[in-house]
A and B are shown apart, each in its own frame.
Chain A
Amino acid sequence: MTDNTKAAPELENVQFEAIDRSSFLMKGVLAAGATYGAFAAGPMLRRAFAQDGGSEGDIEILNFALTLEYLETAFYEAAVKEADLSSEVAALAKQFGEQEAEHVDGLTKAIEDLGGKPVEAPAVDFGDAFASEDSFLQTGITFEDLGVSAYNGAGPMISSKELLATAGAIVQIEGRHAAAVRNAAGEPAAPDAFDPTMTVEEVTKAVQPFLAK
């Protein structure tokens, strides 16, 4: 079995050969290797966070989730207004948008209950997402799968058992949304037996294209 901590140094050695040969492919492999190396620190960070985060940490996580929920809410609200959707898909967009808005309200209240300050709704830019039903569905899949991975990644960092249960109640809905939107797009509702998790950094990077510059 390959250990990631060993994989990175091996790739560093390869780097010299790759540069010598100016191999585009090898550079791609190196970039991937560097990524694995960086991500390998994730679980340690997570444990440290889990031990020391406390309610301060929970507020941060909830605000992170709140930003995502604001984005999802804005996405569906704009889709209902701007996109030319079939009645079936429009009904999903309306229903899911309302549910995301409930998540926004729930998270806002939870943050205030902890004595925290809820973040503001971000300015959004969904680009060409509403050009067609298909582009709406594809962007919807991106958001919902991202939501699943974000909550699942953050879940073990949550200190409060009560908030963990709330996050679980929300992420199950994100998973259901993801499946329904995927099904509407003719894609597999559950592409894998285990949903992947994402770190806060990965999620933050993934939502950048949807934030107004």
Chain B
Amino acid sequence: MTVSKNLDRNAVARAATDPFSRRKFLVLTGGTGAAGAFLAACGDDDADSTASSTTTEMTGGDDPLAMFGEGDVGILNYALTLEYLEAGFYAAVADSGMFKGEELKLIKTIGGHEQEHVDALIATLEDLGEEPAPEPEAKFPLDDPMTILTTAAEVENLGAAAYLGQAAAIENPDILAAALSIHTVEARHAALLNTLIGEDPTPDGAFAVPADPTEVLDGVQPFLVS
């Protein structure tokens, strides 16, 4: 790795943990593309060794994460797959014509966040020298607005639970920082959508309940085209 690249990455790493410099960085690089770089910065030089050092832990037995890769890479690809589903879902909803005006704007805003998460996770994996998981082929129920919002709420609650389920397993502190900052955005989406469909914004009570990959993958199974 070149020295200049190290410098760039350090600058972005600082930006990732500091809202003010991150905002500055976003301005410098022109918006959403920077979100990718933001997470791309998470790959420290020790990230590769971290990933391989956890091999035995993560590939043992019937760990469903093993199909996504080892250690942090497996978690990143697992998250990427979920984000692909979310982004694809909102894009399909936006195209469905079921929502107009302010509602459509909201769908596009949330979908835009998910797409930024996709871009950031891909950039991070590429920065680690790893192959990002492919976009899964998916289909979604788009029959009526209430079904769509209910599905959206389910997916967001599941997404928040999925990130929470991995937080303690992430080895690299920079990847953890980025995952935490995505986790609470999924939580915000979930709370908003719950509110919109007349559900409690905090269905788990004071402490959110995590979901393990088996639960999460079962939950999204209906959306996957096999």
Say which one of A115-123, A129-137, A150-158 lies at the interface with B: A150-158
B22 touches A193 (CB 8 A): no
A35 touches B20 (CB 8 A): yes
Residues in chain B near residue A43, CB distance under 8 A: 13-14, 17-18, 174
Question: Given that A4-B21, A179-B201 are known contacts, is A189 also in contact with B181, CB under 8 Å in the complex?
Answer: no
CA distance A192 to B20 in the complex (A): 13
Residues in chain A near residue B182, CB distance under 8 A: 193-195
Bits for A166-205, please: 1 = Cβ < 8 Å to B, else 0.
Answer: 1011111111111110110000111011111111000000
Residues in chain A near residue B35, CB distance under 8 A: 193-194
> How far, in Å, is A192 (CB) from chain B's closest CB?
7
B18 touches A42 (CB 8 A): yes
Please tell me if B177 contacts chain A, counting CB pairs below 8 Å. Answer: yes
Please tell me if B1 contacts chain A, counting CB pairs below 8 Å. Answer: no
Bits for B168-197, please: 1 = Cβ < 8 Å to A, else 0.
Answer: 110001101110111111011111100100
Residues in chain B near residue A179, CB distance under 8 A: 187-192, 195, 201
A188 touches B109 (CB 8 A): yes
A193 touches B21 (CB 8 A): no
CA distance A171 to B210 in the complex (A): 12
Q: Is the interface of B mostly helix, strand, loop or mixed?
A: helix
29 contacts between A and B (CB under 8 A): A1-B11, A2-B25, A2-B28, A32-B20, A42-B18, A43-B174, A95-B202, A99-B206, A155-B177, A156-B177, A165-B210, A168-B168, A168-B183, A171-B180, A172-B183, A172-B208, A173-B208, A175-B183, A176-B201, A177-B202, A189-B192, A190-B192, A193-B35, A193-B120, A194-B35, A195-B188, A196-B19, A196-B181, A197-B19
Most chain A Cβ neighbours within 10 Å, of B23, B116, B191, B209: B191
**Given A3-B11, A156-B173, A179-B192, 4 other A-B contacts at CB below 8 A?**
A165-B168, A180-B192, A195-B180, A195-B185
Q: How many residues in B have their beta carbons less than 8 Å from beta carbons of A?
A: 62
> How far, in Å, is A45 (CB) from chain B's closest CB?
10
Q: State the total of A-B contacts with C-beta under 8 angstroms.
A: 201
Of all A-B residue pairs in the complex, the 9 with the closest CB atoms, nearest first, are A196-B19, A175-B187, A175-B184, A102-B206, A172-B208, A176-B191, A193-B116, A179-B188, A190-B188
A171 touches B201 (CB 8 A): no
Most chain B Cβ neighbours within 10 Å, of A4, A40, A176: A176
| In the complex, chain A residues 42-70 whose Cβ is within 8 Å of any chain B Cβ | 42-43, 46-47, 50
A168 touches B164 (CB 8 A): yes
